[in-house]
Amino acid sequence: MRTEATIRDIMNVNPVIVSRKATVMDAAKEMKGEGVGSIIIVDDGIPVGIVTESDILRKVVAEGKHPSEITVEEIMSSPPITVSPDSGVEEVIKLMGRNKIRRLPVMENGKLTGMVTERDLLQISPMLLDVARELASINEERETSYRKQRFLSGKCEGCGMLSDRLIEVDGHLFCESCAESYR
Which positions ≥6 away from 41 have C-beta within 8 Å?
A: 17, 18, 19, 20, 22, 47, 48, 49, 50, 51, 72, 73, 76, 78
Q: How many CB atoms lie within 10 A of CB 45?
A: 9
Q: How far apart are CA 143 and CA 149, in angstroms?
A: 10
The per-residue pLDDT for range 12-27, each reduced to its tens digit, is 999 999 999 999 999 9
Task: For the chain, list the strands marked E by DSSP.
Answer: 17-19, 38-43, 46-52, 103-108, 111-117, 152-155, 162-169, 172-174
Q: Class of 7-126 per CATH?
A: alpha beta
CB 1 within 8 A of CB 50: no
Q: How many CB atoms lie within 10 A of CB 89?
A: 19
Phi/psi of residue 173, nearest 5 degrees: -105, 125
The per-residue pLDDT for range 36-88, each reduced to its tens digit, is 999 999 998 889 999 999 999 999 999 999 999 999 999 999 999 999 999 98
CB 93 within 8 A of CB 117: no
Task: List the end-to-end C-alpha distance of the chain, in Å, as a whole number.
Answer: 42
CB 24 within 8 A of CB 67: yes
pLDDT at 149 over 60: no
Phi/psi of residue 112, nearest 5 degrees: -70, 120
pTM: 0.65
Question: How much is the pLDDT for 143?
Answer: 57
Q: How far apart are CA 173 and CA 12, in angstroms?
A: 53
